[in-house]
Amino acid sequence: MADTEKIQVSDLSFIGYINKEEIQAKVSEIAARLNEDYADKNPMFLVILNGAFIFAADLIRQFNHDCEVNFIRIKSYHNTESTGNVEIFMPHEIPFEGRHIVIVEDIIDTGNTMAAFLPVLHSKNPASVSICAFLVKPEAHMHDIKTEYPGFVIPKKFVLGYGLDYNGLGRNLADLYQLSK
C-alpha cells in the first residue's frame, strides 16, 4: 500500500501502512503454524475484545481442527495512548483448567494488558498458554511478554484499521493505517 493514501478519522489524519492483501497473507501464515502446532490439542482461542475480533474471525476460519472460541474484554487504551490502567471483563464460566489456550490479541504494545491478564489466566490452571498477536511493537514493551505467534512487527506508531480503532472509529477499515506526522 502506498503511504500516500490519506484518510481522516474524527480529528486525526492517517496514511496507508499495510494493505488488506498483505494482512490476509500474514493471517494465512499464522493460521498454518497454528494448524501444525495445535492439530490434536482442541485449543481454546481466547479473543480479546474489542480490537482482535476481525483478526480472530479471519484467523479461526482458517484453523482446520477442533477448537473452541471464547471472548473476554480488556481495556487499556484512551485516545491514541496506552493508559497503563488495565480493566479485565472475564466471564467466570469459561473452563480454562487443563486447556490449551491461544490468546488472540490485536496488538502487543507496552505489554501492560498481557502483564495484568496472564497471572489471572495462569491461576485457572490451563495446560498451556500462547499469545497470537496481529501486531507487535517491541520498542514500546515495558514487560517481557513472549508472543509465540506474532503477525507484523511494527515501530512505535499509532495504527488504525482491521479491528484497531481511534475512539471507537476505524475498526471496519480493511487496510491498516498509521497516524500522520
pLDDT tens per residue, range 66-79? 999 999 998 765 55
Decide: 105 and 135 in contact? Cβ < 8 Å.
no
Which CATH fold would you assign to the domain 25-179?
Answer: Rossmann fold (3.40.50)
What pLDDT score was predicted for residue 181? 78
Q: Give dist(CA 60, CA 50) in Å, integer.
A: 16
The model's confidence at residue 153, banded by pLDDT at 50, 70 and 90, is very high
* 4-24 mean pLDDT: 94
Give this prediction's pTM. 0.91
pLDDT at 44 over 70: yes
pLDDT at 67: 98
Q: What percent of the chain is predicted at pLDDT more than 90?
A: 76
- Taking residues 128-132, report their average pLDDT: 98
N- to C-terminal Cα separation, the chain: 18
Mean pLDDT, the chain, integer: 92
Give 64-110 pLDDT, tens digit per residue: 999 999 999 987 655 556 556 778 887 768 899 999 999 999 999 88
Q: What is the pLDDT of residue 17?
A: 97
Residue numbers annotated as active site:
109
For the chain, the structural domain boundaries read: 25-179
